[in-house]
Amino acid sequence: METETLLKELEPTVEANLNRHLEVAQEWMPHEYVPWAEGRNFALLDGEPWSLEQSTLSPIARTALEVNLLTEDNLPSYHREVERAFGRESAWGEWVNRWTAEEGRHAFCIRDYLLVTRGVDPDELERARMQTMEAGYDSGEKPLLNVCAYVSFQELATRVSHRNTGKITEDPVAERLLTRVAKDENLHMIFYRNIVDAALQLLPGPTMRAITDEVVNFQMPGSVIPGFARKAVQMAKAGIYDLRIHHDDIVMPLLRQWRIFELEGLDEEGEKARDELAQAIAALDREATRFVTQRDEAAAKIAARRG
């Protein structure tokens, strides 16, 4: 099916889900979540420059907050991607702008929190933001069905990452803020998930193929952040986002929701894609088990050494 036709066919679903989203999304004020009274000037305004001992966050909490913030910072690139795929017309275009407006507040409230509390090195953060945005995010002309499948997984992944980052800060203020951001991500996930559901009804084979390809090739949107690979490993070790979470809390819930393995009447292409998907998630599951076992063993060794 031509992309133009597909956009038209899915338009009623997009419109219904946009309306549903607008009804359930509660207005919230990012400034309410920032402890402004803790803020003070930096060097240029005759204040104190940042130094490490000012941060009350643990190193892993700093890393996770920075990764999550820089991921959100790249919004102009994500906007470009969804606008290219969904267009500016009809409910699709309305969703693109609404979604972008909601995403916009994520970066600035997390940044406000970090600057006011002196949680991370602000110079380093600004340089990393510049690098991240200059790298941009480019999915390489991903087709519509793939974009819809990818963003379903990605929104759920960022929801979980924000939630778990909030917990690891051990700061109730940060946790409240990130829990609020995670709620937005959850509603975004539901929107995209419902579009994929409709696409599965409309074009089961090609949609199955798109889902399989996006599971197999999944990468976090933040993969362009400087030092991402190293930081992602630290976050995995800390249990903020690891393969077990990716398999159990992101991939499987969506596949279950879409009734991927109960779906009947698939064409040959669809059946082939589903077989590949089954193999891919089995491999992911094995890898996740291996990762967790190694992590547990390493933790046991450290505990034994400490006596």
Task: By CB under 5 A, name the binding residues for Fe ion.
Answer: 72, 103, 106, 155, 185, 188
Question: Measured between alpha carbons, how far is 272 from 269 in angstroms, rounded to an integer?
Answer: 5
- Which 8-state DSSP code applies to residue 62? H
Question: Measured between alpha carbons, how far is 206 from 209 in angstroms, rounded to an integer?
Answer: 5
Question: Measured between alpha carbons, how far is 34 from 71 in angstroms, rounded to an integer?
Answer: 20
Q: In 3D, which of 117, 106, 102, 144 has the Cα closest to residue 35?
A: 117
Q: For residue 40, give the 3-state DSSP assignment.
A: coil
Burial of 221-254, coded b for 16+ CB within 10 Å and e otherwise, reads bbebbeebeebbeebbebebbbbbbbbebbbeeb
Our CB check for Fe ion shows the closer of 188 and 274 to be: 188
* Least separation in angstroms between CB 106 and Fe ion: 4
* Least separation in angstroms between CB 61 and Fe ion: 19
* Least separation in angstroms between CB 18 and Fe ion: 15
Our CB check for Fe ion shows the closer of 106 and 142 to be: 106
* Least separation in angstroms between CB 155 and Fe ion: 5
* Least separation in angstroms between CB 12 and Fe ion: 23
Our CB check for Fe ion shows the closer of 110 and 273 to be: 110
From the CB of residue 48, how many other CB atoms can be counted at a distance below 10 Å? 11
Our CB check for Fe ion shows the closer of 50 and 113 to be: 113
Our CB check for Fe ion shows the closer of 194 and 212 to be: 194
